[in-house]
Structure 1
Amino acid sequence: MDFRMGKNNVFIAMKILFLGFFFIFFFFPLITVILKVLESDFSSFLSVLISNQKLIWNSFFQAGVSTFFCLLIGIPAAFIVARRNFKGKKFIKALSLIPFVFPSILIVISFVIVFGNNGWINHFLKNVFGLKEHIQFLYGFSGIILAHTFYNFPLVMRFVSDAWEKLDITMKESAKSLGADKFQVFWNVTLRQLMPSIIASASLVFIFCFMSFAIVITLGGIQFSTLETEIYRQITRNINFSLGAFLALFQFIVLGLIGLIYFYFSKKFQIKEKAVLEQPKKINFFEKAFLLILVCFILLPIIALIVFSFFNQGTGEISFKAFEKIFFSGNTNLLGTTALSSIGFSLIIALIASVIASLMGLIASLKQTKISLINVFVASSLAVSVITLAFGYLIGLKSGNLLIIALGHSILAFPFSFRVINNALNKIDEESLDSAKTLGANELEVFKEVQFPRIKNALMVSLSFCFAVSLGELGFILVLYDGIYATMPVYIYRLLGTFDLVAASAMGLILILISFIAFYAIEIYSKNEQVF
């Protein structure tokens, strides 16, 4: 018997609050986008797609290639983390969360420092090998794939390693006893058991890469546009709302279908608590080397920001001029805001968004007892892109206050909150709930005395993760208010527009330090919680 949702008035009110919130701040903006399409000649929908087939191809191609490389790196990393014993395993698992608290605009800055035309690698090649011309690593298609791989392979590693670590060895031993060799066991048993986690992680990576904004618009430029960046250009530069709406609707349909695939396989991906587990083996030299390369790949962008922020690039001496420049140079007229204001806006928005997203995630989890409508909410909110949602707010809500921004961010963070809290609630055994009810507890008392104490850590993880998601979000504010409420990512984006990489690195370092507080909180409270 499931007591997650009963007839108690408190839970009914919570359900009404959730439905009202999602209708006003999610479905209504999307409906306005659809209505904008219907205002035009809907029969031209196909012709619009044909005329923009290069954009569509770019979107699918870069997302597909990015997903391929994430799987190529993530699955071997998952194997080592799950099936090998070595010092620093907890450190490696912790590092896998870094890209998710590392805002995408910072990926751009750090990759420019390391891989750019005048970056560290090009300087190294010129000095050591005497190259006269720089090698193009970063800009265009290759740079997008490189950045997406860094940003998303840890998701594959974390998903698949969690599944691999908890595989029941019984089927594997049975196959061996029937004469199967190692390859046959892996292909017919292990891989089939891992397939739900692989498909779930791949579909999620594809969604993130398909609707990537900051990385594509800065590294891809005009020569490599995707649906997401073109929607932004049409509604902010060309003021062509009809075309923007057409492209946004098509993108939402595509991502909605991929989101359903993710949701289906993530539900099938269940970690058995009482499985007979295989003992990890000792790590070998090649596996250590592979992990070392991955650690360097993850940490290099952070090191780049620190070096660029604190060291004079001409003399190599420690310098604080970059921080003096952003806090005391008086660039308000140029950037439209001050550094302190951008920090304040970011913290306020992220705090409000994390609380609202976690509350909605809790309500959705408590009332999700095979209610298919919740599946629609989760899949839809996962599939909607930042630019599409912001477009709906622009033509639907037409409001310019900080609360609206925070509410939009909470929608974007909701899928993560739901996943964390719902997983925690699913771990509570039915016997505990039945016992509480038998002793006379009503639904609210069951929640207060049985459920809430067991999901407190999950709630903290949710708050921290949603805080980090909101903190690094760029596209929503750029579309909706053109940066009037300039958060730290907007401030950095404007600094990059003035080609001031040093000042952008300094503000980026402040942003990542705040993000790492959220990262630290996630690591403390996520001992037994699934973040994805």
Structure 2
Amino acid sequence: MNAEKRKTILLLIPIVIVLTGYVLYPSFETMLESFRQEGIFTFQNYIDFFGPKAHANLEALWNSVYISVLSVLFSALIGVPLAFIFNRYDFPGRSFFSGVAIMPIVLPSLVGVMAFMFLYGEAGLVPNMIKDLFGLEEVPFTLGGVSGILLVHAYTMYPYFYMTVSSALNNVDSSLEEAAANLGSNRLGVFWKVTFPLLTPALVAASLLVFMVSMASFSAPFLLAGGYRVLSLQIYFSKINGNLEMAATQSVILSVVSISFLLFMRWFQNRKDYRMGTKGLGAHRSEVSHPLIKWTMVTIGIIAMIILLLPHATLAILSLVPEGSWTWQTYPTAFNLENFRLLFEDPNIWDPVRNSLFMAFVACLGCFIFGMITSYALVKRKFIGKNLLDILVMIPWALPATVVGMNLILAFNQPSPFSFGKVLVGTYWILPLAYFVRFIPLVVRSTNAVLEQMDDSIEEAAQNLGAKWLYTFRRVVLPIIMPGVLSGTLLAFVQAVGEFPTSVLLYTIDNRPISIEIMNQLRMFNLGQAAAYGMIQVGLIAIVMFVSYKFFGVKSENTL
């Protein structure tokens, strides 16, 4: 065995151990649990799921797929036109409006749902304002049910389409469209025959992400449509009722649906080759010269900006409402900084913030180290089973968050070699482990993008000059790939700080994060404190997103 093979094997050993112990083994345990009932191997759980008495499960399965498909459709209907408007046309305020268009992405799922409840719920500010303004006896509308879920999903998920399509449009060679137009094709023909096919990979990537996030959606169905069954909620209810066998079965079904959609979209994308054979410049923006059209677009932009920023503004205002001052009143009447003062003075109130920051930091430190090593092995090393390893790395991102949580519960509710003989469920460390497993793919994908652009001759030159591999990696490779590693790590941190579906399955009193405390405050009708926690989350995410973009040039679509 030569030296290169030995290095590759030594590099792969920790990667295989981690992926086997914390991705493959938990998934296998969940599948085994779905075939158990009272310790006996049986198909009864699947018979119960699909049988004549399983109306609730089948309804939840259909609702999950139905909501996810509609979420993809509505998100695309918002995000794709916005991408075209902001990337193909130039008008006053375009740059500012395009920046505002991605603001929903800084709202974690639970915080976004909470903001919509405050705004448009039964006791929301907007319905009551319209009621008082027009002297109505009842509020004209309330947010809830399927329409409420779809509205929240469309608002929080359309940025995935907006960002991916924007990135693809900037890379489209304008000479291809000009050639089609010169050959007599009209604008619609150019779009359908030239532009749209080139956008297919971006549309597929965004559709995959929106579908998977929607399938795993927990906050919107839980808070806005309590009686509306979706599979992610069914898993949670089965778990808290102690029926782990059915929770495992539901997790397997949810995983199969998500992975099937992934395979279908990949098949759809791979039917054709979308590479461009030219090296022209990307499409330039057309100046909107007609005054009526120009100022109509500006007006629409201002209205859209107000609508998009209204949830953020509502959170900021309500975070200033002190506890007990907004009970029966239609609108809050008292405002001060008491909620933020208590965050820094009362240790019990500060604990969830500290827990979220510490657990996200620990998880992302692990993602940083493991993601960097794994990406290097996948891109720069040759070995048998590379495709299988790549699939294993992406499984935690392909699976819904509730499934990842159930996998860890069923794998580590008893001692195992991968938990060093300890029971991890119910301990502080199960949640950082879940965050680590869940967000490994973000770091790997981000690092892959940089490593694939690095010429192998750079590393070879250092080794030919006598440098050892470890020294070469530390002094040559690492500085080159560091922007990609850090950008993926920062995005993983953003996701970990706002993670709710995994947290609600795994948290304990000692490690409850901000998202769980927000839920607790809502249950106690302490809306001001819940909003204050939400503002802390939004602030942390906004800071990290700004740092990742400003200093590392990363945009969220780079990790799709």
For 2:233, which of 229, 232, 255 is the aligned residue? 229
- The runs of 5 or more residues in structure 1 that have no matched partner are 331-336
User: Deviations 1:465-509 (Å, cap 9, x if unpaired)?
Assistant: 111111111232321245542111111110111122122112221
Residue 388 of structure 1 is matched in structure 2 by: 403
Counterpart for residue 481 of structure 2: 455
Residue 216 of structure 1: aligned partner: 221
Partners of 1:437 and 1:189 in 2: CA distance: 46
The separation in 1 between residues aligned to 2:139 and 2:11, in whole angstroms, is 59
Alpha-carbon deviations, 1:373-431, whole Å to 9, x = none?
Answer: 23312442112222222222222212133333112101111222222211122233456
Give the Cα–Cα distance (whole angstroms) in 2 for the partners of residues 24 and 257 of structure 1.
24
Do 1:93 and 1:158's aligned partners in 2 also have CA atoms closer than 8 Å? no
Match of 1:173 in 2: 178
Is structure 2 residue 262 aligned with structure 1 residue 259? yes
Q: Say if 2:238 and 2:244, in contact at 8 Å, map to a contact too.
A: yes
**Corresponding residue SS for 2:319:** helix
- Post-superposition offset of 1:307: 0.7
Which position in structure 1 is the counterpart of 2:536? 510
Unaligned runs of 5+ in 2: 289-293, 414-423
* Corresponding letter in the other structure for 1:319: N
Paired residues for 1:117-136 under 5 Å: 117-136=122-141
Distance in structure 2 (CA, Å) of the matches to 1:416 and 1:143: 29
In structure 1, what is the equivalent of residue 65 of structure 2? Answer: 60
Partner of 1:164: 169
- The answer to whether 1:523 aligns with 2:549 is yes
Residues in 1 aligned to 2:320 and 2:428: alpha-carbon distance in whole angstroms: 33
Greater mean alpha carbon deviation, residues 281-290 or residues 260-269: 260-269
Q: Which has the higher contact order (CA 8 A, sep 6+)?
A: 1
Q: CA deviation at 1:317?
A: 5.2
- Indicate how the Cα distance of structure 1 residues 277 and 366 shifts in structure 2: closer, same or farther if over 3 A, else same: same
Q: TM-score, normalised by structure 1?
A: 0.89
Counterpart of 1:141?
146
- Alpha-carbon distance between aligned partners in 2 of 1:309 and 1:478, rounded to the nearest angstrom: 23
Task: Report matched runs for 1:237-256 at 5 Å.
Answer: 238-256=241-259
Residues 191, 275 of structure 1: CA spacing in aligned structure 2 closer, same or farther, 3 A cutoff? same
1:499 is paired with a residue of what secondary structure?
coil
Say if 1:453 and 1:289 are closer, same or farther in 2 by CA, change over 3 A.
farther
Matched letter for residue 213 of structure 1: F
Quick check: which has more Rg, 1 or 2?
2
Alpha-carbon deviations, 1:149-175, whole Å to 9, x = none?
111100110001100111012322222
Report the equivalent of 2:307.
297
The alpha-carbon distance between structure 1 residues 397 and 318, as it changes in their structure 2 partners (threshold 3 A), is: same
Contact kept, 8 Å, 1:325 with 1:503, in 2: the verdict is no
1:40-96 CA-partner distances (Å, limit 9, x unpaired): 422652551352211111101111111111000000111123223356655555545
Secondary structure at the counterpart of residue 26 of structure 2: helix
In structure 1, which of residues 439, 462, 467 is the aligned counterpart of residue 493 of structure 2? 467
Percent identity among equivalent residues?
25
Shift of 1:265: 7.7
Preserved contact between residue 12 and residue 377 of structure 2 (Cα < 8 Å): yes
TM-score (norm 2): 0.85
Matching residue of 2:115: 110
- CA shift at 1:327, angstroms? 6.3
Q: Is the 8 A contact 1:364 1:374 kept in 2?
A: no
The one-letter code sitting in structure 2 at the alignment partner of 1:288 is V
Shift of residue 245 of structure 1? Answer: 1.1
Shift of 1:324: 5.1
Q: Aligned partners of 1:80 and 1:505: how far apart in 2?
A: 33
Distance in 1 between residues matched to 2:443 and 2:264, nearest whole Å: 19
Report the counterpart of residue 291 of structure 2 in structure 1.
Answer: none
C-alpha RMSD of matched pairs (Å): 2.9
Q: Is the 8 A contact 1:214 1:475 kept in 2?
A: yes
Cα 1:404–1:271 shift into 2, 3 Å: farther
Letter in 2 for 1:360: F
Distance 1:528 1:273 in 2: 26
With over 3 angstroms needed to count, the CA separation of the structure-2 counterparts of 1:94 and 1:402, relative to structure 1, is farther
Q: Distance in 1 between matches of 2:512 and 2:277?
A: 46
Deviation at 1:25, TM superposition (A): 1.4
Aligned equivalent of 1:486: 512
Distance 1:380 1:162, change over 3 A: same
Aligned twin of 1:499 = 525
Q: Which residue of structure 2 aligns with residue 425 of structure 1? A: 451
Shift of 1:39: 1.6
**Once structures 1 and 2 are overlaid, which stretch shifts more, 55-64 or 86-95?**
86-95
CA deviation vs aligned residue, 1:283-325 (integer Å, no higher than 9, x gap): 5344434443443333211111111112576675541233456
- Give the count of matched residue pairs: 518
Change (3 A) 1:269 1:136: farther
**Alignment pair present for 1:361 and 2:378:** no
Amino acid at match of 2:112: I
Partner of 1:45: 46
State the distance in 2 between where 1:513 and 1:273 align.
Answer: 43
Structure-2 change in CA distance of 1:344 and 1:194 (3 Å): same
Residue type of the partner of 1:412? R
Q: Per-residue displacement from partner, 1:433-483 (whole Å, max 9, x unpaired)?
A: 565566666654554454322322222212211111111112323212455
Given that residues 112 and 119 in structure 1 are in contact (C-alpha distance below 8 angstroms), is that contact kept between their aligned partners in structure 2? Answer: yes
Amino acid at match of 1:359: I
